[in-house]
Amino acid sequence: MKAEQVIGLFEYDDIVRNDFPVVCGIDEAGRGPLAGDVYAAAVIFDGGTYIEGINDSKKLSEKKREILYDEIISKAKAYCVASASIEEIEKINILNAALLAMKRAYDGLGITADIALIDGNKTPSLKCMTRSVVKGDALSASIAAASILAKVSRDRYMLQLAEKYPEYCFEKHKGYGTKLHNEMILKYGPCPAHRMSFLKKLLKNENE
């Protein structure tokens, strides 16, 4: 990524700070997988903070995300990572569970933002003004930082699930519906880490 594009992410937040001095970025990780909790993170930077290489977590290598994770939490004015459980995903659906995780992340910051920039086109109900930003993790440094914290935290959680349920190879696919993951589900059947509502099509095709 070009340096001027990276700087642009921080400039985006600086422009927002002209009207809202305390800017919070929020993003989630794990809406698409067939297994595991959905995670979200909220991040607040002071104006003038700069982290080289920050970008949408999906565009970064796992090693780069891990390095940036440590720098983000060391330079953030406030941050919080939260999640919504598999049971909550099944009960209220994945969108509402993701919004719930976002709300928990914001509520865990310990300080109040003037505005929260939310990646995507839906916003949770927060105790501050919210603004949805489509593809915000490629526009706002705060959202990009939140995407990294959420992604790294969820990946670490999936590694824990891999130790608990080694037959599914969660360490390789992080719960996404890859060919390997689908094959393991069909071979061993679902485990408690799976989102059963996400498996209906796969299991239906197998039973036909």
pLDDT digit string (tens) for 7-42? 589 999 999 999 999 999 999 999 999 999 999 999
pLDDT at 57: 75
Answer whether residue 191 is part of any domain: no
| Residues 129-155, mean pLDDT to the nearest whole number | 96
Residue 3 has pLDDT above 50, yes or no: no
191's tokens = 């485990």
| Residues 62-86, mean pLDDT to the nearest whole number | 97
Answer whether residue 11 is part of any domain: yes
CB-count exposure of residue 188 (10 Å: 0-12, 13-18, 19+):
exposed
Residue 113 has pLDDT above 70, yes or no: yes
Answer whether residue 204 is part of any domain: no
Number of domains in the chain: 1
H or E, element range at 95: helix 94-107
Answer whether residue 22 is part of any domain: yes
Answer whether residue 40 is part of any domain: yes
Q: Kindly report the pTM of this predicted structure.
A: 0.93
Answer whether residue 111 is part of any domain: yes
Answer whether residue 19 is part of any domain: yes
pLDDT-based confidence at residue 207 (cuts at 50, 70, 90): low
d(CA 8, CA 109) in angstroms, rounded, equals 25
Give the SS3 label for residue 44.
strand
Bridge partners of 130, per DSSP, are 116
Q: Which residue from 23, 19, 27 is spatially nearest to 10, judged by alpha carbons?
A: 23
Q: Which residues contact 44 (CB under 8 A, 6 or more apart)?
A: 22, 23, 24, 25, 76, 77, 78, 79, 109, 111, 113, 142
Q: Domain of 52?
A: 3-157
The helix-helix angle for 141-164 and 3-17 (nearest 10°) equals 110
Output the domain CATH number for residue 124: 3.30.420.10
Distances (CA, A) of 69 to 88, 104, 153: 27, 19, 9
Residue 89 has pLDDT above 70, yes or no: yes
pLDDT at 208: 58
Give the SS3 label for residue 208.
coil
Answer whether residue 198 is part of any domain: no
